[in-house]
Chain A
């Protein structure tokens, strides 16, 4: 039980820190002093104390959606182990359950966006639905690669079995980690898929869907975003941890730093894709995850390539 709690606490730390690392990296790259490391938490605390404005177009669905969004993400979050620690919840087949919980959260926020009747939010919803649909195979194949090497289909089992891994497999695992980091970027709508730091109206996917949310609802959506980031970051770090050092004190900092710094650097030095390029970008990742899975399969079969 203590291990499970430790795992949850570490996950929370990861979730809360990634945004801080991203902001700090961006600040350093731009030569700014930057905001406080935990400024995003203060922002959310402020939002939690505010009132809200609801559009008259909306229905009850609009008010329930943020809780479903956070609830589903939170539940998915509780399934993720940090390296060999035991997660709070686990069952055989939970890798699929987690993927579909994330889909549930996506449906909630898409429908909420459609509920406002705003063309901006409809635009964001349409794109979120499309990108979510296209990224789904990459997610599943990433998980299938992990299942291929570790022989189980629950997160806890996959990462609890340290195995003798050859050097070849190191490459595959690094690529799996890369795939998951990119999935995180796509799911959270960051550069190069989308830029959350522009004016909200210009942010075409993720942020634009929450235009009509304010106060507590906005805070819930932000928290869900952190948890979602942590889910993908930790899976990516775990994939690396499986081959290098099989300990939580290795995987947890890796999850924070690797993803935080990567995203920070990307946001500092890369421009956003033209929107029409995004589909290509996502399909590239899907193709890559398929390639990784097949390479892994061939390696398992001991076929010389």
Chain B
């Protein structure tokens, strides 16, 4: 098995490196599409039959391990497949402009890493745990590390990539510790062994260690700081796959842990609280900072953090409800969390790809240099509007369905008297998140696509090629389907939720099917009403005079495009609330009130994460201090080094004699 995998890998890499420059994308597309088709067919089989066993092998470290697809893996395989195909298709148009700029090997390397990332994510969700899991996890990190610094000549790109690599390895160490602990107690280190571990040893420390490990990938507060650095640095299709899918592997790990705890009610309860709290903090932190950002991709990165928060709120409510004895709440929360994972992978992929369209035409992601793009890139504008409505969780699209399920769980908690306080906390957090998301994304859409152009680059931009539009339409189809037919979309989700929580899926089907059926019907009614009103309006206006003129300037006739509301001014009101979370870096000087005839000013503000400066810079300073000390040992003289070696051996000898080693 190992042999064939390696052989396949070598063939794929050779194919990518050997094909001519323009054809590389098709090789990558072919490989990813094949993987995706295989994954989806296995996933469907697993959803129907329960599980599909692929292969087993024994490792020296942790014993017997296997690659198998159960229902949870199946769901994630589907998520990975859809997004990967869209992203690889998209990459052709996006990278076209770079083909001449970079060496051929650079492009080959990029595609190799892209295929490797897709494959490794699939291996991650199929692995039974232990060594193969860690191997795939590490492969995933390395592949994405190669993908991020595509434009390696930019300094911030290299910085972000290194930052990412370091943070991922801190998370990786936590996972290694976790699996070693499990192996110590139970003899093997797969996810099934964790069930035994939770019965045999103290469960909470292990959970927290693994939670941190997975949370690093998922972008949990306060480990989220790599996301807003890495996503703007990476090429847009890479951000799309990383934000849409890769961070979900962290969520996958957390779900696996929850699946393992299922039998221990007391533990489930305390873990539910931890997850809920983490979700609330992550969600609120993410959304407030998202609303404050003035860079499209940073905003989207923070919004990913917020969505992970929402997923965790769902998971937390599910665990707490389940522990309190209400299978209904458990099912609501779990279905909501799972569906939101699917949904977020769809609309976030679309949003990042839209950002890619903009970047490839304007060569910037700074919102305040845009405006009025809808006129120059109409299709991108429509697709982005679509994704915006979806991510704001507005009916009739899919984001609303998953949040509705989580809300129903919490409202049930309130009205049935199960864990009322936690439900209330969840409701407050989720509604506040929902409100501020609207602010963040109306800001994004309004400043970028609407109004009039703030720079001449906008007026020179044109719509992107059709293949890119087509690639973005793939997730759009799923968004629309889930949004308009939620009663069918919930069925596979309920099957997976049953596998995780152990609660009977009939609860979900009986309870949600009428609600979601009614929701679906009402969404159609909504569309019908809007259409009808539009027709009515059209009819009323048909024999009236319709004129066009300039925007009303309230008597002021010399308006120009610089007077429009910018991204910074749009979120100014939120600043008083978000202030404690941020540390600003200001470039230039704002216009002072005393300047009656102000000259040209340059003013650039960037809202940095306070955690970033607290955690990130503290570590860097510490490392610097340690390094400075250690570097004194590096004298450059061979005789010194030999002395060090001698000292080391003597030390080992003494320690052995004393009996410490």
Contact = CB atoms under 8 A, between A and B. Distances in A.
Contacts of B561: 117
Q: Which of B417, B514, B554 has the largest count of A CB atoms less than 10 A from its CB?
A: B554
Given A75-B526, A114-B451, A136-B432, A61 B385 contact: yes
Given A99-B431, A118-B552, 12 more contacts: A71-B529, A93-B519, A116-B552, A119-B559, A122-B565, A125-B446, A129-B438, A132-B438, A133-B435, A141-B427, A147-B411, A279-B576
Interface stretch (A10-18, A49-57, A232-240): A49-57
B414 A55 contact: no
Contact of A130 (B403, B551, B565, B574): B574
Contacts of B564: 117-119, 122
6 contacts: A58-B551, A59-B381, A91-B519, A100-B393, A107-B392, A137-B427
Nearest to A130: B573
Interface string A132-149: 111111011101100110
Interface stretch (A20-28, A169-177, A209-217, A263-271): A209-217
Nearest to B446: A114
Per DSSP, chain A at the interface is helix
Nearest to B445: A111
B580 interface: no
A185 interface: no
Per DSSP, chain B at the interface is helix
Contacts of A117: 371-372, 450-452, 551, 561, 564
B655 interface: no
A137 B565 CA distance: 27
Given A67-B537, A216-B537, A148 B547 contact: no
Interface string B23-61: 000000000000000000000000000000000000000
Contact of B515 (A55, A91, A110, A141): A91
A57 B534 CA distance: 21
A293 interface: yes
Interface of B: 371-372, 374-375, 381, 385, 389, 392-395, 400, 403-404, 407-408, 411-412, 414-417, 420-421, 423-424, 427-428, 430-432, 434-436, 438-439, 442-443, 445-447, 450-452, 511, 514-515, 518-519, 522, 525-526, 529-530, 533-534, 537, 540-541, 544-555, 559, 561, 563-565, 569-574, 576-577
A137 B428 contact: yes
A280 to B, nearest CB: 10
Given A52-B546, A61-B374, A201-B554, A103 B434 contact: yes
Nearest to B406: A96
Contact of A54 (B385, B515, B546): B546
A55 B551 CA distance: 5
A147 B537 contact: no
Contacts of B436: 133
A295 interface: no
B654 to A, nearest CB: 65
Given A147-B414, A300-B417, A54 B547 contact: yes
Given A103-B438, A104-B395, A71 B533 contact: yes
Q: Which of B371, B392, B435, B550 has the largest count of A CB atoms less than 10 A from its CB?
A: B435
A66 interface: yes
Contact of B544 (A56, A59, A215): A215
A281 interface: no
Contacts of B430: 140
B515 A92 contact: yes
A210 B134 CA distance: 56
B529 A141 contact: no
Nearest to B573: A130
A55 B548 contact: yes
A290 interface: yes
A74 B393 CA distance: 19
Contacts of B415: 147-148, 150-153
B285 to A, nearest CB: 15
A96 B411 contact: yes
Contact of B552 (A92, A99, A211): A211
A64 interface: yes
